[in-house]
Structure 1
Amino acid sequence: MLKLAIVDDEFIVRLGIKSMTNWESHNISIVGEASNGRDALKMCRNLKPDIVLTDIKMPVMDGLEFLRQLREDDPYVKVVILSCYNDFEYVREALRLGAIDYLLKPTMTSDDVIQLINRIKTNIEKENRLENNLASNDNNHKIKKQNVLLELLSGMYEVQYPLEKLKALGVDLSNENLAVFALKPDNLHLIPSICNKQDATLMYAAISNIIDDSLSTRQEPLYIHDNNGYFTVIYRCDEKVSYKNIYSEVYNFCMHIRNIIKKYLNISVSIGIGDLQATQMNLAKASSNAQNALEMRFFEGSGSIILYQHKRNTSGELPSISELNGKYPLLKYAVSGDITSFIESISDIKKELKNAPTVKQARNFLLEIMFNLFNEFNQITGINDQSIDSIYDYIINSDTLDAACDFICDRMQDLVGNDVFTNENNKIINSIKLNIRQHYNKDLNLDLIASKYNISKNYLCHLFKKTTGETYLSYLTAVRMEKAKELLLKTNMKTYEIAEMVGIPNPRYFSRLFKKSVGMLPTDFKNFNESTGDCSANSVSC
């Protein structure tokens, strides 16, 4: 139903037009009326009528000024002028301003008004149908174009095949200076407004519109949005422009899109720029390079714009995991509740990981360090926490090293804030258990350990049993047997060598302890597990 508004300073005229017919039977709804141009302008801004009938001579604001301002607000609204015989010059000015017709108030009949409104309504409906058909055709053309671009950029087809299809769609890529860049939202799982698939679809549609609008002012938009969330854009530069100028132009355009998305959607995106002087024959490679460049946001951080490099430049070498564990005693800080030192060490490890040659290697290092840390932490503190699964998933899914490390610090902060964990006696016992796990191969004299904490040996034994449910000696023996099983399964060392390695220099005593703990002698344990092919330390238990 189309919306009609009536503007006239004479109440009787407004009433007459409203009551001259059942407007709803003509598919017309009278949505408002006003007695002057100023009120009419406010009304139209709120109600958005399709058709406006307006007088010319009115108080406060006349019909001409109303029409002038209304056309600035809405150039598509249809305006009909109501005039008197001596208003001809005004009518001519109104038509110049965009009014589509006029009616003479002294002689107009209800049939005149109804016929004119119906004629305007018919024209509006034709315009809407034409606009919908054009939009549908444009949309179909856009979909076809994006499907062919996907074929071209995927590299799965002979290049000539999609290029011919693009030419048929009116797209010429013979330019020698083609740049390709890939864009993707950062850490999508951290965006509060993205709660489900529908939210993500709306977000991607909004990003598409921004890319469309930004490109349309420069050139025909050529981009795809694939199932992995990448927007891959082909940007055509002037063939006579130097490489340096191409880089500057493309970088500034990427920065413009990134900033617009941040401003209007409050979403951080990173962009990877592939080859800057690609041709239509190697666009697939340029697209792949753009996505490889974008992957480097793991090191560079959210909101980065990264130019592809064949080999990543690093400031140093990546230490081994054992070296990292030695330099940054995360377990010690975690067990003691020193969260400040823990966070500082994570920050330092993050700097070290930025020297990794690939994102995959940096992720794997971080995963291994965290798996060992939380596994040991849970065993020492007795806090039955399943954090390791969530941390593993988080490191795998985080687009940036910063996000992964922030999550690790937050999770550990939650754990050390646990009431059981913060108890001072528990802290002492956790520290002793850490010492055992790290120095099980040494002579762990109870007198020395007790003196370190300024408590008696007897009180230490009592406190250990009360806190853990087992004696100090049984815990020490369990740790040593655990390490002995690992050595038996993973090395070819002799039993006496393993006994020495776990802090029990007497091989016979070691064998007795091992049988009591595991249920069989060390050699039998090794032979049994080799015959079953099970190389896990927990494969046999008593």
Structure 2
Amino acid sequence: MLNLLIVDDEFLVRKGLRQTIDWQGFGIQIVGEASNGTKGLTLAEELKPDIILTDVKMPIMNGLEFMQKLKEKDLNPKIIILSGYEDFNYVRTAMHNGAVAYLLKPIDNNQLTNIIKDVINKITNEKNTKKYIDTLKDEIPAITKQFLSDLVSGDITDIGKINEKICFLNISVDFNNCYIVVLKINKYQNIMHKLSIEELNKFKYYINKLISTIFIGNSAFNSIFINRTEEEFLIIIDFKLHNSNELQLIKVCCTKIVENLKLHFKETISIGISNLCTSVLEINKTYKDALTACQNKLSEETSTIIHINDISFNGYRREIKETIKYIQDNYNNNITVEHAAKELYISPSYLMHILKKDLGKTFNECLTDYRITMAKKLLLNRKYKIYEVSTRIGYRDVKYFSQIFKKTTGMTPSEYIKAQF
């Protein structure tokens, strides 16, 4: 049943409205009546009617003031104005304040019943829409989880459908400039048998809470995460302002998670971090890199944080690994072999010697290779112009960058872009 409130200073009008309309037949019950706007407002706050029939000219508080007060109190009934005044200003003000109809007295019952039917249809449609939206809101987390899971698994590759889902789910993360972090609970099967359901849920809840606090609550980037499987958590991050310390900040966040867990639980986790993904179509590869890094642990007895590049040079001496890492962390700056050697506390000549011996390359060749690799990724993202890519990878002279790019790849940056699309 819909609730109706009648507000009119004329007793005979109120009585007539009660008795001449078959309200029950419309599925409406009259829950109250008032002789002025002040009393009507009190009843409206208390009874929350779906429909209000109100006069315009009443003592103490007239109908227009009454409607304004309803708006101020966030009450949104369907209001039908009953008035003896055929004045455009009254009509305009009434409609502006939310009236759905304006009827002149004496009331034509046929006209009123037709309006009532329209109002009932509006209310029914609005309630059905609200119910649908509320149901959809409840399902959004599950839909988002499935979408992200399908995206990183490579099960959805149609760029149109991807963008449609991103828009529909209101996801703010830029998948064309993001990192992926995979967090997995070590020895999950053993933990399931060792811990009670309550203890296991407490552990997973705490991981969720830490991710929400440390990643989602971080003002430096946009991020989204899901509990992809019982043992795996997926975090996707894009920085609001890109800088050379992005990976370091991600590692700091991961370290906070590990340290907090260590204080409260004996169980351990493994965390893998990808490189920057510059195209939503490369999300699957980026996820696989993060997963590979996550799985590249020597022991499950301790928690680990591994970036994909940290495992790329296994088997090489420490100085080589640290030099490559130095290049990856600082490639967009004006760095030299002397800078790297100083960071490693070795001589430049010794560093040049072992690079040539172990990799067959000079420091500058290693730096150029990595810069061009990053340039290729950035060029695939159509939002960057060639000169912007040049600057972002450490070349201030775009003409020189183009020469180096062509020498390395056999194509100019423009030709490379055309070949990819």
TM (normalized to structure 1)? Answer: 0.37
Name which one, 1 or 2, has greater alpha-carbon Rg. 1
Higher relative contact order (CA 8 A, sep 6+): 2
Structure with greater proportional helix content? 1
Structure with greater proportional strand content? 2
